[in-house]
Structure 1
Amino acid sequence: MEKKTTILPVFTFLLLSILLLNSCKSEFEQIRTGGDVKKIYSKATDYFTQEEWQKAQTLLEMIIPNVRGTKEAEDVFFKYAYTFYNLQSYTSASYHFKTFANTYGASPLREEAEFMSAYAQYQESPTFRLDQGATGQAIEEFEFFVNTYPDSKRVGECNKLIDKLRLKLETKAFEEGKLYFHLRYYQSAVRSFENLLKDFPETKNAEQVRLMILRSYYDLALNSILDKREERFKECRRLAAEFLERYPKSEDLREVQNIQDNSNKQLKLLTNVRYQNQSAGSGS
């Protein structure tokens, strides 16, 4: 009898401990570990509405395998994608929105998913000084959206965002050209600025870009070997004349005219040197 009275209090203590631990579990933990799909879905929706994104994402992720092929699946996948966006996991958000759009092609939520896939990429676009892979991807996705939904009320917003992203790419190209110029890589600077005009023909900075091309080409000519100077100074003269014709009221007219005058002087010097060399050669 003494052994039984010893065991009973121990058993009671363990039972009370288990009950106490269960009562201490948060509602989230009880739902998460309960295994009831309907309850998990309901609570996940509550958390989503309350903007508790991490809890909502955790619960939604748990039931994805269980809801495939059901009427709840669209809602679960769509909310799941949004939790990534609201947690600022933009690359994952873009992926899940795109997956949703591809999976549920007939869904009324597809248009929003396509837009959000692009917009999440837009959020990933970094400062112009960094790699612009995400910027290019966002532009492609916005263009895809505009082409796919030409009557969407979001088309105007997409076009504004595309312009903003393209301006970032243009700024990067311009700064790269300036960097080449300051490093005295003049040929690379010329190529960079010329490509900028090709890639962004509507740029508002065309005058400044053409001025940088002229500056780069002039410094290239000055630092060229003798055999290449004549060709390059002639190109400087042509670029200067073209600039003066395009921008007759430019604030940089004096600089451009000086480059033009100096290029003509250099060409005269080269002509004189060639004439003197020819004369010396014929007299020997």
Structure 2
Amino acid sequence: MRTIRFILPFLSAIVAFSSCKSQYEMLLNSNDADLKYEAAFQYFNDSKFTKAASLFESMSVLTGGTERDDTVQYYWGLSNYRAKDFYKAETNFQKFIESYPRSPFAPEARFLRLDCLYRQTLRYELDQSPTYVAINAIAEYMAEYPEATNIKICQEMLDDLNERLDTKAFEAARLYYRMEDYIASRVSFRNVLKDDSENVFREDILYYIAMSSYRYAQLSVHQKQKERYMTFVDDYLNFIGEYPESSYRRELDAIYRRSQRALGRYQGLPADEELEELDSRAFEKERRRMARSEAGQIRKGAKANERLVDATEDAVIIDGMINEAEAKSMPAEKKVRNKRD
């Protein structure tokens, strides 16, 4: 008896499930448009959007050319949209807009189609073809319906998609910098700005352009360094011209002073390894050290000149001694020759 009591609820559930499934399948295969219409909306209102979409789809054949057709087509797309099948929903809404451009549902269908396109886009690391499609569609909608109630949402979607493209371009260029290919890095970053001068990462891009120039100059042979440090100076001036208050300014200022020192025109504060400015006392200490160093170089030069003079005098004395020895040896050689003769 206990076993039967446990089994009966399961059997009842299976029978109920089978009957429900059979009822839905009967509706799906039915040719009764009115019955399907009511059942489809019942499923839709109960948030059973996948079943509702299937019923609206099967009903579209029966309601084609009737007054209900635009409603069926719209709710078919809306059911797929609520079921998060955005690919099918976008196709539904596109077909609906083409078939019923003046329907009361048309404005909402146009916006929902844009939302479907937006939701089908991929993160910036992946293919951005869907992003371009969505951007073009949103831009067309905003141009055609500038007073639409959804215009603010459209602008937010457009900004997000453009930022995604900007991020992809920026990260692709920065990859060369991380690989320490500074020539390719600088060219890539410049091309990013050439393609889109309003890139949201413009400040970072100009920073990396300058850093690429500096790193490349550092790694260059001595004969090429002057020219390449000058390129960095140009990039540095471009950066501070646009972003004088940038958070990168302090670092680039210190590097600029280093490049000036490398070019032999260093006149400002020396940049230490931590890229921090010296305080006044440290600067005075550094100035004195440099003055002592210059004085030491002068003294070393003077001593070197003295040694050179001494060496020259010694050489003259040695030459004189050699000449004197040669002169003394000549009579002896003559005597030897006379004896032989």
Shorter-normalised TM range: 0.7 to 0.9
TM-score by length of 2: 0.65
Name whichever of 73-82 and 235-244 sits farther off: 235-244
> Which among 173, 177, 184 is matched to residue 177 of structure 1?
173
Residue in structure 2 matched with residue 234 of structure 1 by the alignment: 230
- After superposition, the Cα gap between the structure-2 partners of 1:73 and 1:264, relative to the gap in structure 1 and judged at 3 Å, is same
C-alpha contact (below 8 Å) 2:31/2:62 kept by paired residues: no
Task: Quote how far apart the aligned CAs of 1:146 are.
Answer: 0.7
Structure 2 stretches of 5 or more lacking a match?
Answer: 1-17, 266-341
In structure 2, C-alpha distance between the alignment counterparts of 1:70 and 1:215, rounded to whole Å: 67
Task: Quote how far apart the aligned CAs of 1:268 are.
Answer: 5.8
Are 2:136 and 1:165 aligned?
no
In structure 1, C-alpha distance between the alignment counterparts of 2:91 and 2:216, rounded to whole Å: 47
Residue in structure 2 matched with residue 88 of structure 1 by the alignment: 84
Cα displacement string for residues 156-199 of structure 1 (whole angstroms, at most 9, x for unaligned residues): 21112211222222222222222221012333322333344345
> Which among 36, 40, 52 is matched to residue 32 of structure 2?
36
- After superposition, the Cα gap between the structure-2 partners of 1:23 and 1:242, relative to the gap in structure 1 and judged at 3 Å, is closer
Task: Quote how far apart the aligned CAs of 1:223 are.
Answer: 4.2
Structure 1 stretches of 5 or more lacking a match?
Answer: 1-21, 270-284
Residue in structure 2 matched with residue 146 of structure 1 by the alignment: 142
RMSD: 2.7
For 1:141, the aligned partner's letter is: A
For 1:213, the aligned partner's letter is: I
- After superposition, the Cα gap between the structure-2 partners of 1:80 and 1:234, relative to the gap in structure 1 and judged at 3 Å, is same
Task: Quote how far apart the aligned CAs of 1:51 are.
Answer: 1.6
For 1:211, the aligned partner's letter is: Y
Larger Rg: 2
Aligned length: 248
> Which protein has greater RCO, CA pairs closer than 8 Å, 6+ apart?
1
SS at match of 1:26: helix
Task: Quote how far apart the aligned CAs of 1:256 are.
Answer: 1.5
Are 2:68 and 1:47 aligned?
no
Cα displacement string for residues 182-237 of structure 1 (whole angstroms, at most 9, x for unaligned residues): 01233332233334434554455432221111112222344457786554332211
SS at match of 1:209: helix
- Sequence identity (%): 29
- After superposition, the Cα gap between the structure-2 partners of 1:192 and 1:240, relative to the gap in structure 1 and judged at 3 Å, is same
For 1:237, the aligned partner's letter is: V
Residue in structure 2 matched with residue 135 of structure 1 by the alignment: 131
C-alpha contact (below 8 Å) 2:33/2:59 kept by paired residues: yes
TM-score by length of 1: 0.76
Cα displacement string for residues 250-280 of structure 1 (whole angstroms, at most 9, x for unaligned residues): 33334313433444455569xxxxxxxxxxx
In structure 1, C-alpha distance between the alignment counterparts of 2:19 and 2:126, rounded to whole Å: 51
In structure 2, C-alpha distance between the alignment counterparts of 1:245 and 1:147, rounded to whole Å: 35
In structure 1, C-alpha distance between the alignment counterparts of 2:248 and 2:113, rounded to whole Å: 45
Residue in structure 1 matched with residue 293 of structure 2 by the alignment: none
> Which among 244, 247, 250 is matched to residue 246 of structure 2?
250
Name whichever of 147-156 and 237-246 sits farther off: 237-246
C-alpha contact (below 8 Å) 1:117/1:141 kept by paired residues: no
